[in-house]
Structure 1
Amino acid sequence: MLHISNTVTIADWEIELTAIRSMGAGGQKVNKTSSAIHLRFDIKRSTLPDFYKERLLSLTDSRITKEGVIIIKAQQFRTQEQNREDALERLKKIILSATVVQKARRATKPTRASQKRRVDSKKRKSQTKSLRGRVQ
């Protein structure tokens, strides 16, 4: 069972974990052990509240397919158990990131004093550059 918040949890049957062979350089055991974890989580079939489902499906994340399935491949660690924990933690982060509401941006204008300072500095630069010209 994966605890997302105090009220939201995901049951084990909703998360499909598969052990696969890890990529990259290896030693003698590289072709014998399946230490990487392939996690699949179907958003539409899950028991998450509708608010979570809508927010997750609206995310533009490459790990979420068009069908609404989150796919995570964890192969950072050498042991299967550590990769399993890593995959579950990353799933939890994706779900929690969907619940964060962005603060609305308020349009602002520069103050009159800052505009005057900007124009004055441009005039000074222009004057300096014009003095660099050929002497007549």
Structure 2
Amino acid sequence: MADLLDRALALVSESFIAAAGPGGQNVNKVATAVQLRLDVYALRLEPEVFHRFKQLAGSRMTAKGELVLTARRFRTQEANRTDARKRLAELLDEAQKLPEKRAKSRLNRVGKTERLASKKRRGAVKVGRGKVSFD
């Protein structure tokens, strides 16, 4: 994991942009928000990990395979830089975790008959809502 994070941080490009929010006049003068850009294809992730990463990234990943993380929570560049790198590390860590297998639930005979009976009752209610014919 540490190796992957080191590779990712080596490939990251950072840019500082003007942030909104608290900071008074300082927010208008200093570019404190950090925007991290990472080419995910350059990381050479395994296909399963890549698909999980892509799903976790969501709209933060561009069509070209570039992850864009913007951190503007804090008032200083350094705090925002640390926050962005921490979020990147969490994203990579989460993508590497295997999803837990779902255990199939077992239904006993009584539960099955009750479920089918309730479906029949519900179906009868819905049939009663149909068109009324006067034939």
User: Scaled by the length of structure 2, what TM-score is found?
Assistant: 0.68
Q: 1:44-123 to 2 correspondence within 5 Å?
A: 44-45=41-42, 48-51=43-46, 55-57=49-51, 59-60=54-55, 61-112=58-109
- Report the Cα distance in structure 2 between the residues aligned to 1:54 and 1:105, rounded to whole angstroms: 18
CA shift in 2, pair 1:74/1:116, >3 Å: same
- Determine which of 5, 13, 21 is the counterpart of 1:24: 21
- Structure 1: gaps of 5 or more residues: 120-136
* Aligned length in residues: 114
Q: Deviations over 1:63-116 (max 9, x none)?
A: 111111110000001110000000001111111111111122232222346668
Aligned to 1:133: none
- Structure 2: gaps of 5 or more residues: 118-135
| Percent identity of paired positions between Structure 1 and Structure 2 | 31
Aligned to 2:122: none
- Report the Cα distance in structure 2 between the residues aligned to 1:50 and 1:7, rounded to whole angstroms: 12
Aligned to 1:33: 30
- Report the Cα distance in structure 2 between the residues aligned to 1:6 and 1:101, rounded to whole angstroms: 17
8 Å contact kept, 1:57–1:68: no
8 Å contact kept, 1:40–1:69: yes
CA shift in 2, pair 1:117/1:12, >3 Å: closer
Q: Which moved more, 1:5-14 or 1:72-81?
A: 5-14
AA partner of residue 36 (structure 1) = A
- Report the Cα distance in structure 2 between the residues aligned to 1:111 and 1:11, rounded to whole angstroms: 50
Q: Deviations over 1:42-75 (max 9, x none)?
A: 0112xx3432x65235522221111111100000
> Which has the larger helix fraction?
2
AA partner of residue 50 (structure 2) = L
8 Å contact kept, 2:22–2:75: no
Aligned to 2:129: none
